[in-house]
Amino acid sequence: MTVAAEERELRDDELNGLELSARLRSIWQTPSGLLGALTSVDHKVVGRRYIVTAFAFLLLGGLLAILMRIQLAGPEKTFLSADKYNQIFTMHGSTMMFLFAVPVMEAFAVYLVPLMVGTRNIAFPRLNAFSYWMFLFGGCFLWISFALNVGPDVGWFAYVPLSSLQYTPTKRPDVWAQMITFTEVAALAVAVEIVVTVFKLRAPGMTLDRIPLFVWAMLVTSFLVMFAMPSIMVASTSLILDRLVNTRFYDSSSGGHPLLWQHLFWFFGHPEVYIIFIPGTGMVSAILATFARRPVIGYPVVILSLIATGFLSFGLWVHHMFVTGLPQLGAGLFTASSMLIAVPSGLQIFCWLATLWDGRPVYRTPLLFVIGFIVIFVLGGLSGVMVASVPIDTQVHDTYFVVAHFHYVLIGGAVFPLIGAVYYWFPKITGRMLSERLGRWNFWLAFVGFNVAFFPMHILGLIGMPRRVYTYTADMDWAHLNLLSSGGAVIFALSFVLLLVNVIMSLRSGTLAGDNPWNASTLEWATSSPPPPQNFDRIPVVKHRDPLWLDNASLPVVAGLSVERREMLVTSLAEAEPQIREASPEPSIWPLLTAIATSVFFIGSIFTPWAVLWGTPPMAVTLIGWFWPSGSKEDEE
Partner 1 sequence: MRHTIVRNVAELPTYGYGPRSGPWWGAMGFMALEGMGFAIAIGAYLYLYAVNPSWPIGAAPPDLWPGTAETVIYLLSIIPNQMTNRAAHRQDLAKVRTGLIVMSLIGIGLLVLRGFEFAHLNTRWDNSAYGSIVWLILGLHTTHLATDVGDTVVLTVLMFTRHARPRRFSDVTDNVFYWNFVVLAWLPLYVLLDWVPRL
Q: Which residues are near Cu ion by CB under 5 A?
A: 270
In the bound state with partner 1, the residue whose beta carbon lies nearer, of 135 and 373, is 135
- Cβ within 8 Å of residue 445, ≥6 positions away: 491, 492, 494, 495, 498
In the bound state with ligand HEM, the residue whose beta carbon lies nearer, of 401 and 590, is 401
Q: Are strands 567-571 and 578-583 parallel, antiparallel or unpaired?
A: antiparallel
d(CA 304, CA 348): 10
d(CA 427, CA 529): 7
Choose which of 233, 326, 347, 385 interacts with partner 1 (CB under 8 A). 233
In the bound state with Cu ion, the residue whose beta carbon lies nearer, of 270 and 566, is 270
Cross-strand partners of 581: 569
The residue range among 194-202, 408-416, 563-571, 593-601 that interacts with ligand HEM, by the rule CB under 6 A, is 408-416
The residue range among 322-330, 457-465, 475-483, 554-562 that interacts with partner 1, by the rule CB under 8 A, is 554-562
Query: Shortest Cβ distance from residue 570 to partner 1 (Å)?
Result: 6
Chain CA centroid to CA 391, Å? 33
Query: Shortest Cβ distance from residue 39 to partner 1 (Å)?
Result: 21
**Restricting to residues 475-504, which ones interact with ligand HEM according to CB under 6 A?**
489, 492-493
Tell me which of ligand HEM, Cu ion, partner 1, none is bound by residue 96, counting a contact when its beta carbon lies within the kind-specific cut-off of 5 to 8 angstroms: ligand HEM
In the bound state with ligand HEM, the residue whose beta carbon lies nearer, of 258 and 517, is 258
Binding residues for ligand HEM, rule CB under 6 A, total 24
In the bound state with partner 1, the residue whose beta carbon lies nearer, of 123 and 273, is 123
Choose which of 407, 458, 545, 566 interacts with ligand HEM (CB under 6 A). 407
Query: Shortest Cβ distance from residue 411 to ligand HEM (Å)?
Result: 5
In the bound state with partner 1, the residue whose beta carbon lies nearer, of 238 and 285, is 238
Choose which of 120, 397, 538, 566 interacts with partner 1 (CB under 8 A). 538
Tell me which of Cu ion, ligand HEM, partner 1, none is bound by residue 494, counting a contact when its beta carbon lies within the kind-specific cut-off of 5 to 8 angstroms: none
- Cβ within 8 Å of residue 225, ≥6 positions away: 102, 106, 187, 188, 190, 191, 275
φ, ψ (nearest 5 deg) of residue 580? -140, 145
In the bound state with partner 1, the residue whose beta carbon lies nearer, of 231 and 495, is 231
Binding residues for partner 1, rule CB under 8 A, total 74
Contact 128, 45 (CB under 8 A): no
- Verify binding: residue 371, ligand HEM, rule CB under 6 A: no
**Restricting to residues 5-64, which ones interact with ligand HEM according to CB under 6 A?**
62
d(CA 276, CA 574): 27
**Residues 139-158 vs ligand HEM: string with x where CB under 6 A?**
----------------xx--
- Verify binding: residue 263, partner 1, rule CB under 8 A: yes
In the bound state with ligand HEM, the residue whose beta carbon lies nearer, of 141 and 416, is 416
Tell me which of partner 1, Cu ion, ligand HEM, none is bound by residue 578, counting a contact when its beta carbon lies within the kind-specific cut-off of 5 to 8 angstroms: partner 1
Closest residue to ligand HEM: CB criterion: 93
Tell me which of Cu ion, partner 1, ligand HEM, none is bound by residue 87, counting a contact when its beta carbon lies within the kind-specific cut-off of 5 to 8 angstroms: none
Task: For Cα atoms 433, 437, 443, give the angle at the middle one, nearest 5 degrees.
Answer: 95
Query: Shortest Cβ distance from residue 201 to partner 1 (Å)?
Result: 7
- Verify binding: residue 13, partner 1, rule CB under 8 A: yes
Rg (CA), the chain: 25
Query: Shortest Cβ distance from residue 404 to partner 1 (Å)?
Result: 32
31: left (phi over 0), alpha (psi -120 to 50) or beta: beta
Cross-strand partners of 11: 562
- Verify binding: residue 621, partner 1, rule CB under 8 A: no
In the bound state with Cu ion, the residue whose beta carbon lies nearer, of 189 and 341, is 341
In the bound state with partner 1, the residue whose beta carbon lies nearer, of 124 and 277, is 124
Contact 588, 637 (CB under 8 A): no
Cα–Cα distances in angstroms (integers) from residue 278 to residues 198, 274, 295, 306, in the given order:
16, 5, 19, 7
Tell me which of ligand HEM, partner 1, Cu ion, none is bound by residue 270, counting a contact when its beta carbon lies within the kind-specific cut-off of 5 to 8 angstroms: Cu ion
Residue 147 amino acid letter: A
- Verify binding: residue 574, partner 1, rule CB under 8 A: no
- Verify binding: residue 69, ligand HEM, rule CB under 6 A: yes
Helix (H, G, I), strand (E, B) or coil at 220: helix
C-alpha torsion 226→227→233→236, nearest 10? -140
Q: Which of 269, 308, 277 is nearest to 409 (CA)?
A: 277
In the bound state with Cu ion, the residue whose beta carbon lies nearer, of 270 and 428, is 270
- Verify binding: residue 468, ligand HEM, rule CB under 6 A: yes
Q: At what angle do helices 416-430 and 365-387 cross, to 10 degrees?
A: 150
Helix (H, G, I), strand (E, B) or coil at 512: strand
d(CA 608, CA 617): 16
d(CA 43, CA 20): 21
In the bound state with partner 1, the residue whose beta carbon lies nearer, of 515 and 546, is 515
**Restricting to residues 71-100, which ones interact with ligand HEM according to CB under 6 A?**
89-90, 92-93, 96-97
Cα–Cα distances in angstroms (integers) from residue 605 to residues 148, 159, 171, 462, in the given order:
19, 21, 12, 44
Choose which of 164, 238, 365, 529 interacts with partner 1 (CB under 8 A). 238
- Verify binding: residue 227, partner 1, rule CB under 8 A: yes
- Verify binding: residue 210, partner 1, rule CB under 8 A: no
Helix (H, G, I), strand (E, B) or coil at 141: helix
The residue range among 24-32, 222-230, 338-346, 410-418 that interacts with ligand HEM, by the rule CB under 6 A, is 410-418
464 CB-contact burial (10 Å; exposed 0-12 / middle 13-18 / buried 19+) = middle
Helical segments of 73-209, H only: 82-94, 102-116, 125-147, 172-200
Task: For Cα atoms 127, 133, 135, give the angle at the middle one, nearest 5 degrees.
Answer: 100
In the bound state with Cu ion, the residue whose beta carbon lies nearer, of 89 and 265, is 265
Binding region for ligand HEM (CB under 6 A) = 62, 65, 68-69, 89-90, 92-93, 96-97, 101, 155-156, 403, 407, 410-411, 415, 453, 467-468, 489, 492-493
